């Protein structure tokens, strides 16, 4: 190398390092069915034992960031067996809390808990202050991703559909205001299906600029049409990844941080009771891996 180029060497090496700095993370979203058994017997088996087993499955070291919904009255059992170093404090059981929590291997900041502007009584949605949370998680080399966890209005009546559209529009607005130009991962229980016309899921995707890796990786890049037949999953273990549930993961790159979805899958088998083989929740968790660069 010519001597006059030597001073440039550190700069060249620094550039190579930046290019080399992609990190892979695995995320999971799960509705843990933690409503008091007396109100809602959703799921099978004993809710306390199921919650201890869910925490044990969370602690297997495979999940960098976990979003839970319906984490109400059995919250302490999940946190007793889970081992993630960074976790949100519960906002309370029914009827005080939102049931939303985050468990993470990486530190978070700017936690916000926001209540929905609109709820519809049909499925007890107004019984608890459901809504969404947002936070910034800082990964290796200071790379920041804004995470949104949500639990939208449930039910099949027109009022439920209107509430869900309003809920998701509220999240899209928060993303536009709080996370402009920033990398974003949204995951939670949307209570929405692409095929259910009243959910207008495509409106949310357009408004927030996010991508659904399930659509990219398992639906050939084309979201199922609104009003098409539901793509129901086999219960309790989906036969493959082409069927649709309401638990979803979306993402978007930012100006400085690029996210790419490497994989997406239902993760039913790790969340069964080891003795009875019954599912630990009435929702199948969804898992994805991303590279962050
Ligand atoms: C599974 O369910 C049974 C029966 O409810 C319970 O005794 C057991 O502790 C649960 N968990 C495991 C890991 O077997």
The answer to whether the beta carbons of residues 66 and 95 sit under 8 Å apart is no
Residue 42 C-alpha to ligand 1 middle, in angstroms? 17
User: CB burial class (10 A; 0-12, 13-18, 19+) of residue 254?
Assistant: middle
Residue with CA at minimum distance from ligand 1 atom 11 = 273
Residue with CA at minimum distance from ligand 1 atom 14 = 275
- Cα separation, 32 vs 42, whole angstroms: 10
Residue with CA at minimum distance from ligand 1 atom 10 = 273
**Which pLDDT score is estimated for 8?**
63
User: CB burial class (10 A; 0-12, 13-18, 19+) of residue 45?
Assistant: middle
Determine the residue of 53, 80, 270 to mutate for testing ligand 1's pocket, defined as the one with the most ligand atoms within 8 A of the Cβ atom. 53
Determine the residue of 41, 48, 55, 276 to mutate for testing ligand 1's pocket, defined as the one with the most ligand atoms within 8 A of the Cβ atom. 276
**Which pLDDT score is estimated for 41?**
72
Residue 77 C-alpha to ligand 1 middle, in angstroms? 14
Residue 49 C-alpha to ligand 1 middle, in angstroms? 7
For the chain (length 293 residues), average pLDDT per consecutive 10? 59 54 95 88 88 97 96 97 98 93 98 94 81 98 98 92 96 98 98 97 97 98 96 95 98 98 97 95 97 97
- Give residues (CB < 6 A) around ligand 1: 45-46, 49, 53, 273-276
- Cα separation, 145 vs 185, whole angstroms: 7
**Which pLDDT score is estimated for 126?**
83
CB within 8 A of 258, min separation 6: which ones? 183, 292, 293
Residue 275 C-alpha to ligand 1 middle, in angstroms? 6
Q: Which domains does the chain have, with CATH numbers?
A: 23-292 (3.60.10.10)
* pTM attached to this predicted model: 0.92
Residue 273 C-alpha to ligand 1 middle, in angstroms? 6
Residue 258 C-alpha to ligand 1 middle, in angstroms? 42
Q: Which of 145, 158, 152, 252 is nearest to 206 (CA)?
A: 252
Residue 272 C-alpha to ligand 1 middle, in angstroms? 10
The tokens for 136 are 């910034």
**Which pLDDT score is estimated for 121?**
82
Residue with CA at minimum distance from ligand 1 atom 9 = 49
**Which position has the token pair 């049909």?**
122
**Which pLDDT score is estimated for 37?**
84
Other residues' Cβ atoms within 10 Å of the Cβ of residue 234: 11
Cα dihedral: 275, 278, 283, 286 (round 10)? 50
**Which position has the token pair 């087993």?**
53
CA angle 128, 280, 94 (to 5 degrees): 15
**Which pLDDT score is estimated for 4?**
58
- Cα separation, 22 vs 140, whole angstroms: 9
CB within 8 A of 42, min separation 6: which ones? 33, 35, 281, 282
Residue 37 C-alpha to ligand 1 middle, in angstroms? 17
The answer to whether the beta carbons of residues 289 and 262 sit under 8 Å apart is yes
- Cα separation, 287 vs 165, whole angstroms: 24
**Which pLDDT score is estimated for 38?**
80
The ligand 1 atom at the shortest distance from the C-alpha of residue 46 is 5
Determine the residue of 45, 58, 278 to mutate for testing ligand 1's pocket, defined as the one with the most ligand atoms within 8 A of the Cβ atom. 45
């Amino acid at each position: 190398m010519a001597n006059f180029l030597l001073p440039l060497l550190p700069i060249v090496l620094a550039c190579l390092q930046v290019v080399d700095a992609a990190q892979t993370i695995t995320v999971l979203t799960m509705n843990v069915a933690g409503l008091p058994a007396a109100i809602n017997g959703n799921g099978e088996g004993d809710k306390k034992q199921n919650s201890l087993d869910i925490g044990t499955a969370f602690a297997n070291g495979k999940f960098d960031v976990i979003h839970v919904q319906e984490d109400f009255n059995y919250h302490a059992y999940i946190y007793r067996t889970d081992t993630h170093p960074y976790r949100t404090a519960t906002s309370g059981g029914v009827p005080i809390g939102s049931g939303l929590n985050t468990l993470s291997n990486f530190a978070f900041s700017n936690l916000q808990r926001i209540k929905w502007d609109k709820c519809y009584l049909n499925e007890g949605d107004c019984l608890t202050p459901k809504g969404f949370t947002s936070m910034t998680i800082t990964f290796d080399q200071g790379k920041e991703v804004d995470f949104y966890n949500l639990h939208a209005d449930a039910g099949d009546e027109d009022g439920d559909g209107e509430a869900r559209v309003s809920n998701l529009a509220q999240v899209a607005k928060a993303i536009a205001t709080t996370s402009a130009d920033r990398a974003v991962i949204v995951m939670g229980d949307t209570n929405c299906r692409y095929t259910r016309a009243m959910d207008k899921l495509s409106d949310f995707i357009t408004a927030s600029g996010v991508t659904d890796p399930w659509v990219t990786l398992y639906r050939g890049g084309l979201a199922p049409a609104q009003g098409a037949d539901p793509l129901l999953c086999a219960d309790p273990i989906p036969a493959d990844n082409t069927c649709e549930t309401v638990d979803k993961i979306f993402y978007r790159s930012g100006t400085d941080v690029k996210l790419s979805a490497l994989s997406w899958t239902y993760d039913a088998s790790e969340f069964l009771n080891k003795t009875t083989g019954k599912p630990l929740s009435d929702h199948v968790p969804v898992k994805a891996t991303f590279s962050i660069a």
